[in-house]
Structure 1
Amino acid sequence: MRAKRLLATIASLTISVSSAMAADFNMRLHTLVKSPHPYNDMAEFMKKTLEEKSDGRIAVQIFDSGQLGQDPAVISELAFGTIDMMISTTSNAAEQVPEYGIFTMPYLFDGMEGITKKIGPGTPVEAHFEKIYEDRGLGIHLLALGASGARNLATKDKPVNDLADLAGMRMRTPPSPMDAETWSALGMLPVTIAWGELYAALQTGVAGAMESSLPGYSGAKLYEVAPNLALTQHTLQINHISISDVTWNKLPDDLKALVQETATEANELGVEKAIEYDANLVDSLAKDHGVKVTHPDTAAFKAKLEPIQAKLAEKLDLSAEYELLTAK
């Protein structure tokens, strides 16, 4: 039986390698997260669609779970063309694209339903960020913006029921000034920690709190070190699908159109999967992993933050993005 399984695995790998060798364009696709997660569902969709609809001219190899590195380093690799595409959160790209910081402003969107109509294909928002990529000379091309779930707060030592419970907690943030300013305004102490180092940081007490999407929290098993989940739903996790300019410029026009169309469809799938995961994960986290779930009054959070939003956007030089996203 073992021999048969081994032969089947070798055969599968041989077919995969042969397919890649036969392709005109071999693409390495990065995600930072472990499955189940919308980003990996999106990656699988892109691989399947691009390989089938290109008649084998494109082959895609997925590297999930940060196998190719953390996001800031991967973005740099995209510029050199050593990695071809990535699907990830915009907050982790804030070092190279500071304007992405606007998406971590809490309570900026009403909800997941219809989010792509606000930031998706053909919108002023997407066009704005496409131009920023070009103007900054990042060496990467923005394919699509989407959303992959609401972000919630989780803590190591005590549950959060109201704003007072946040005071003095060491809050993990990505390298995003918006995050740091926001959580500081709520009385917390921001600590910048890479996603791949977060489990250890919570385990050792370097951080006492974190926030993420539910699939991110579950997939990385962060409930083991931060078992108190507060459903603050403070932001929607906005994601980007980006491709190396080196790769993009090699593609003929028909394959460019296919890659663009596929990325747009992948983001629609990401929204659907995020809604599905969010609906199911809260119950399973509580039942299967003993997570203590609380429901803080988000009106109090909004009331605390709303008066400072415009000022915060101005302070961080994000007024143009804030006005674009809040325009009726």
Structure 2
Amino acid sequence: MLKTLTTALVASVAMIATASACEITLKSSDTHPDGYPTVEAVKYMGELLKERTDGRICVEVFHSAQLGEEKDSIEQTKFGVIDLNRVSTGPFNNIVEETKVVSLPYIFKSVDHMHRVVDGPIGEDILKGFESEGFIGLTYYDGGARSFYNSVKPIKSIDDLKGMKIRVMQSDIFVDMMSALGANATPLAYGEVYSSIQTGVIDGAENNWPSFESSGHFEVAPNYTLDQHLIVPEVLVMSKISWDKLSPEDQALVKQAAKDSTPKMRELWAAREKVSEEKVREAGVNVITEIDKQPFMDAMDSVYEKHVTSDKLKDLVKRIRATD
């Protein structure tokens, strides 16, 4: 115990010393654990910023929800208690209207398509929507492509989903998506998914490669269909209160360092996905890659009619669909 306390004390002293050497230390929050691609990307941003300002500006990353879960950390960021925050765009849906479009099912044709959209004018327009709500949208990170998996049978068509009990996050959009596909949406806590599939309470769920693997869900749901119905990007934002304290020159440096961290994050995410996919395939999971997505996409008309109601959102959807 003494050794542990001593190590912690040394680490704290080192952190204080590092922070004191910087004129400005930006406090950044992330719910993911240390080593996760988003966490490492913000650390990389901090390295770039420190280098480009000769040590004037530093970034201190608090991972593993040390500063609170996403909902709480968003509020703290708005009021300037937290300077930077890496969050999924989902929790911003009721705050920044524009973020709803990137949470819609099948809005993106692929991960590459999502990259082309958020890296261009559409992505910039969505980021601009954050400012009126007290945030500065800096850049986008990846959250993976979510696909269906289950314990009953391979899902090769929309008909295979009919009547199946599929776990979804507690979101009206996701519940409506499952209903449109003919399945029974079951909102459930993430930690309950494994046992619920195992006992037959639900037939399956949906998630990306790393989550499917790291959760152990592949052990009880050996059918994984790469339909990629949700490709929801993450976003790195800054408190407008903190932003306004910076000079225009430093604001430009912060924004550029954030943008330059995105390729690093995508590189780390791709590597993480590859490792997870290899582990799942080696375990003998039946991975369905040949699937006609069009019927799934066509079934989403009712979801879009219900959730895309303003002219602003309708225009964004139109522009995203027109992007090659």
TM-score by length of 2: 0.82
1:238-286 C-alpha deviation (Å, 9 max, x unpaired): 1211111111111122221111011111222222333333333211234
The change in CA–CA distance for 1:236 and 1:258 in structure 2 (over 3 A counts) is same
Q: Any idea what SS the aligned residue of 2:54 has?
A: coil
The change in CA–CA distance for 1:25 and 1:175 in structure 2 (over 3 A counts) is farther
Contact 1:199/1:222, CA 8 A, preserved across alignment: no
1:163-202 C-alpha deviation (Å, 9 max, x unpaired): 4443344434345433222122112333445xxx411355
Q: Any idea what SS the aligned residue of 1:83 has?
A: coil
In the alignment, which residue of structure 1 is the partner of 2:155?
161
The change in CA–CA distance for 1:253 and 1:272 in structure 2 (over 3 A counts) is same
241, 266, 288: which one aligns with 1:295: 288
Give the letter aligned to residue 291 of structure 2: T
CA distance in 2, matches of 1:265, 1:101: 25
In the alignment, which residue of structure 2 is the partner of 1:22?
21
The change in CA–CA distance for 1:47 and 1:101 in structure 2 (over 3 A counts) is same
* TM alignment of 1:29-108, pairs within 5 A: 29-34=28-33, 37-108=36-107
* TM alignment of 1:222-301, pairs within 5 A: 223=218, 228-287=223-282, 290=283, 292-295=285-288, 297-299=290-292, 301=293
Larger CA deviation: 51-60 vs 14-23: 51-60
Whether 2:307 is the aligned partner of 1:313: answer no
CA distance in 2, matches of 1:44, 1:187: 43
CA distance in 2, matches of 1:48, 1:221: 34
The change in CA–CA distance for 1:217 and 1:251 in structure 2 (over 3 A counts) is farther
Give the letter aligned to residue 195 of structure 2: Q
Q: Any idea what SS the aligned residue of 1:96 has?
A: coil
1:135-162 C-alpha deviation (Å, 9 max, x unpaired): xx3211111234343222234x435433
Q: How far apart are residue 18 of structure 1 and its match?
A: 0.7
Give the letter aligned to residue 288 of structure 2: H
CA distance in 1, matches of 2:94, 2:219: 29
1:29-80 C-alpha deviation (Å, 9 max, x unpaired): 2222235543123122123222333323223222223333322222111111
Count residues in correspondence: 314
Q: How far apart are residue 296 of structure 1 and its match?
A: 5.6
CA distance in 2, matches of 1:258, 1:207: 49
Unaligned runs of 5+ in 2: none
* TM alignment of 1:115-194, pairs within 5 A: 115-120=114-119, 123-134=120-131, 137-155=132-150, 157-162=151-156, 163-192=158-187
Identity in percent:
22
Contact 2:148/2:207, CA 8 A, preserved across alignment: yes
CA distance in 1, matches of 2:303, 2:113: 26
Give the letter aligned to residue 314 of structure 1: E
304, 313, 321: which one aligns with 2:296: 304
* RMSD value, Cα: 3.1
Q: How far apart are residue 119 of structure 1 and its match?
A: 1.5
In the alignment, which residue of structure 2 is the partner of 1:327?
322
Contact 2:181/2:299, CA 8 A, preserved across alignment: no
CA distance in 2, matches of 1:41, 1:174: 26
Give the letter aligned to residue 84 of structure 2: M
Q: Any idea what SS the aligned residue of 1:230 has?
A: strand
CA distance in 2, matches of 1:41, 1:291: 31
Contact 1:148/1:271, CA 8 A, preserved across alignment: no
The change in CA–CA distance for 1:154 and 1:114 in structure 2 (over 3 A counts) is closer
The change in CA–CA distance for 1:72 and 1:210 in structure 2 (over 3 A counts) is farther
CA distance in 2, matches of 1:34, 1:168: 36
Q: Any idea what SS the aligned residue of 1:237 has?
A: coil
TM-score by length of 1: 0.81
Contact 1:92/1:174, CA 8 A, preserved across alignment: no
Give the letter aligned to residue 155 of structure 2: N
The change in CA–CA distance for 1:324 and 1:181 in structure 2 (over 3 A counts) is same
Q: How far apart are residue 226 of structure 1 and its match?
A: 5.6
Q: Any idea what SS the aligned residue of 1:233 has?
A: strand
CA distance in 2, matches of 1:170, 1:92: 25
Q: How far apart are residue 291 of structure 1 and its match?
A: 6.7
Give the letter aligned to residue 295 of structure 1: I
Contact 2:281/2:287, CA 8 A, preserved across alignment: no
CA distance in 2, matches of 1:187, 1:307: 9
CA distance in 2, matches of 1:259, 1:51: 10
